[in-house]
Structure 1
Amino acid sequence: MEERQQSAHYVREAGCHREIIALDRVSFAFGTQQVLDDVNFAVQERDFVGLIGANGAGKTTLLRMIVGLTKPQRGEIRLFGTPAARFRDWHLIGYVPQRNHFNPLFPATVREVVTSGLYGRRKLLRRLTKADMDRAADALDTLDIPDLADKRIGELSGGQQQRVFLARALINNPKLLILDEPTVGIDMETQLNFFQLIKHMHQHHDITFLMVSHDLEMIRGYLGERPKATSGKLSFFVRHSHDLEDCAETDLVHTLRKEG
């Protein structure tokens, strides 16, 4: 409950130009191979940022540092104005990693994977409420996978697994959604529905996006032909939404059913 109250306070106080992510001379190397070198960039609230770079440019490494899974070797990352090393409000961030980082032998059902998106990093063993289970059911319905709820995640196809991970990222109504190649292994119809969903969320909800994608047509079609900034081998395409929230419903999970 306390986390929810803090989130509501953040939404009331934040403005459209508040800094959500700040990268200050961020560097990282694997041994002698320099992957990121003095990366500087800021993501503002309501930005949609498309991150483009060649293989080995450090895109996934950068995302993992932002979500706290890897630490920069030099420089600083700030999240919602707080240095990442001291950041604790992880419920504000939804993260969909590349599917090839997933262990297919992980012994969990689809429902368990989706509801795990509700857990805080300090509350992994908390009891789920009926409201939690209702949100999980809504998320499963939204991604058109309610019939998979009791299946083991490792039994699913690549496209089905990615729908599960999207549902998990959306269930907590994040203020920042980080997506690493979210449409890899997904059929075309699901890709189109997914892009419809995230465009709607960007335009009408208080949510900020950072997405790695090789779909240059989608990036340029929505974010523009030219990057707003480059840093090393990385290019940052940006579109900012000034629209006010105008959804009668605040939950994200209504969107696909409403517009589909």
Structure 2
Amino acid sequence: MTTMTPALDIVGVSVAYREVTALSDASLTLESGRVCGLVGMNGSGKSTLFKAIMGVVRPNTGSIRIHGGAPAAARKNGTVSYVPQSESVDWTFPVSVRDVVMMGRYGKQNWMRSPRARDHDAVDAALDRVNLTDLADRQIGRLSGGQRKRAFVARAIAQEASLLLLDEPFAGVDKRTEATITRLLKEIAAAGSTILVSTHDLHALPDLCDEAVLLQQRVLMHGDPREVLKPDNLALAFGVSTTSEAS
């Protein structure tokens, strides 16, 4: 019987910054086509976990494999895509929406970064999918918060990544945009990609996610969102009982 290689396989990963432990013996396995919510308080290690998956931070111990390969190789060949928090982006940078989405094609272009017809086609299709075609030539900073989120989702779509990492995709957006992003992510997962979403919006998780993870330096719980997000379990991660939004 053939065993499928997991989309993401994290085994015993620990990361420390000098004297501060960010992750301690964290393990997580995700299969292809799944959406997983990552929940934890500030300082729980969510950002460090994303950096380790991207190959930006090297674990002190443990291993991370993306479809059986190393994170650095996955980042280089475009297998993994990262959608950042709005606060980490310089919105004054003089690039258009189309330019941002085209960045998703860099791993598939030659060393001169010369877009080919298939790159332009992929960008056009991604812009159409997130309903930003009419704003393609607008400077990225002139978009609304929800439009900016969709632009970065379009970049991930154009990249054709098989693993997507999203950091707070619902922060600062209205319910309509949240519903749009949720629909897009579920469609991407249905096509076979794996999605890991870090969010404080606990209300959004049951509708979006197939599974959820509670993180507090290590994985406290991983499973069905409705089970993971029970008040008693949230108290383990946040130190207080909560049934709504954690901050």
Which structure 1 segments of 5+ residues have no match? 1-14, 240-260
Q: Given the superposition, is the C-alpha separation of residues 218 and 77 from structure 1 closer, same or farther in structure 2, using an over 3 Å criterion? A: same
Aligned partner letter, 1:205: A
Query: 1:138-179: per-residue Cα shift (whole Å, max 9, x none)?
Result: 222221222221122123332221111111011122221221
Q: List 4+ stretches of structure 1 deviating above 6 A.
A: 228-231
1: CA distance, partners of 2:162 / 2:212: 26
> Once the 2 structures are TM-superposed, how far is the Cα of residue 224 of structure 1 from its aligned partner?
6.8
Match of 1:218 in 2: 204
Measured after TM superposition, the shift of residue 220 of structure 1 is 2.9
Is residue 208 from structure 1 mapped to residue 194 from structure 2 by the alignment? Answer: yes
Q: What is residue 80 of structure 1 aligned with on the other side?
A: 67
- 1:139 maps to a residue whose letter is A
Cα pair distance change 1:39/1:119, threshold 3 Å: same
Structure 2, unpaired ranges of 5+: 226-247
Q: Which residue of 2 aligns with 1:248?
A: none
Return 224-233 or 72-81, whichever deviates more: 224-233
**SS at the partner of 2:99?**
helix
**Conserved in 2, the CA contact under 8 Å of 1:51 and 1:236?**
no
What is the CA RMSD across the aligned residues, in angstroms?
A: 2.8
Q: What is the CA distance between 1:87 and its match in structure 2?
A: 4.6
Matching of residues 92-241 of structure 1 within 5 Å: 92-120=79-107, 123=110, 125-202=112-189, 204-223=190-209, 232=218, 235-237=221-223
Please give the TM-score of this superposition, normalised by the length of structure 2: 0.79
Q: How many residues align?
A: 224
- Normalised TM-score (structure 1): 0.75
What is the aligned partner in structure 1 of residue 39 from structure 2? 52
Query: Which deviates further from its counterpart, 190-199 or 77-86?
Result: 77-86
Structure 2 CA distance for partners of 1:37 and 1:17, relative to 1, 3 Å = same
Q: Percent identity?
A: 34
Which residue identity does 1:216 align to in structure 2?
L
Q: Which range moves more in the overlay, 223-232 or 94-103?
A: 223-232
Question: Aligned residue for 1:25?
Answer: 12
Match of 1:90 among 59, 77, 92: 77
Separation in 2, partners of 1:208, 1:226: 13
CA 1:161–1:226: 2 relative to 1, 3 Å = closer
Match of 2:26 in 1: 39
Amino acid at match of 2:112: L
Q: Identify which range, 16-25 or 28-37, moves more after superposition.
A: 16-25
